[in-house]
Every structure is written in structure tokens, then in C-alpha cells.
Amino acid sequence: METGANERDIELEQEAEKHKAFLMDEQKRSAFGKIPPMYRDIEALPPKGLMTGVQEHIIFGAFGTGKTYAAYQMAMSLFNSGDISTFLVVRAFRMLMDIKSSFSAGSYENVFKSFLSYDLLVIDEWGKNSGSDFEESVLFEIINSRYENRKRTTIIVNADKREDLRNAIRPDLLDRFRRGIYEISGKSRR
């Protein structure tokens, strides 16, 4: 009888492992599903150096060159390798709206903590919809807190030239990203 019980335990453990593997695959499919359809067939990798030990990255370039796609590729590569277990790709405007609504709802601390909780936070469309000085200060505090806690953060900026970053990003913030600035050039893929 004891042998049958052990065999059943082994079967249950194997089923649990299969289920765990299925859930992990489902997470990967779910994350991949968030990639806009226009980027799914592009055979490209993140820019050389983007996967290095630098925790903070700025990806910049003209509209439609694949900046967001490169960030998704980086996030999925880090996720698949086990370097990160959670990531969020969010537009700066959406982040500002979440922060703004949290003030009136009295949930600012929770929203702030949620943006700190991800292993990788990718903020897309930085500088497109600038908030007030106060909102930008709050964004700075989130990014600075992530920087101090050695959490990976990537900002995606529509800028044709490296010099244009100075107009899109505050100097004190730009300084935190100076070792990880990558340009994606080329024609629009849209």
C-alpha cells in the first residue's frame, strides 16, 4: 500500500510541475500578446549593450523605429532568462494619470509603491504629455527611488538626436541614465 501512496505523490508532484510550467508559458504568451501586432514579425534584438549590467536605460529615436519593440524584447529576454520576474510597460501619460487620480483618492502611497515593485519598469512616450512641475517631481521621485533600490528602469523617448534628450528629460534625471543611452534609428516600421 505504501508504494501506491508514494507513486500517487510522485504523480501529483509531476502534475503540479506541469501546471507550473503551463502557467509560466501562459505568462510568457500573455506578455508577448501585449506587443503591438506591427512588431510581432520584426526580427530584431534590443540594441547591443542594452542587456548589460546597467540598470537605467533611455531608448530614443524617431517615431516608428522600433523603440517600444526593443524594450519589449529586452523585457521578455530578461523575463525568460529569470533575471526578472515582473515587469510593466506603461505610457508616461497613463502613469501621470494614475498618480494624479491617486491624490484625490488618497491612495498615492499605494500607487507609488506599485511602481516601485516591478523588477523592470519601462516608461514609454516620455516627454510627450508633460505634466505639471509637481507631477514631474513625483515621476522623478519614483525613478530616483528605483535608482536607489537598484531596480531596472527604461525610458523611451521620441527624439531625433541625442541632443534633443535635454529638452525632453530633466537634467537631474538624465544624469541617472547617462551610462545607458541607446539610439534606434532607421525608417518607420509602421
Residue 58: pLDDT band (50, 70, 90) is confident
Within 10 Å of residue 55's Cβ, how many Cβ atoms? 18
Phi then psi dihedrals of residue 121, to 5 deg: -120, 120
Q: Domain-by-domain residue ranges, the chain?
A: 1-33, 34-183
Residue 44 confidence (pLDDT) above 50: no
Largest CA distance in the chain: 75
Q: What is the DSSP letter of 189?
A: -
Average the pLDDT over 88-102 and give the result: 85
Q: CA-CA distance, 90 to 121, in Å (whole number)?
A: 8
Residue 148 confidence (pLDDT) above 80: yes
Provide the pLDDT for residue 102: 81
**pLDDT above 90 covers what percent of the chain?**
7
Provide the pLDDT for residue 127: 74
Sheet holding 152-158, edge to edge: 87-91, 120-126, 152-158, 56-61, 181-183
Phi then psi dihedrals of residue 164, to 5 deg: -70, -15
Provide the pLDDT for residue 112: 84
Provide the pLDDT for residue 182: 84
Provide the pLDDT for residue 42: 44
- Say which residue, 24 or 159, is predicted with more confidence: 159
User: Which SS3 state, helix, strand or coil, does residue 61 take?
Assistant: strand
What helix, strand, coil percent values describe the chain, rounded to 5? 55, 15, 30
User: Which SS3 state, helix, strand or coil, does residue 52 take?
Assistant: coil
Query: Which architecture, in CATH terms, is 34-183?
Result: 3-Layer(aba) Sandwich (3.40)
* pLDDT tens figures, 7-22: 766 766 766 666 555 5
Provide the pLDDT for residue 30: 45
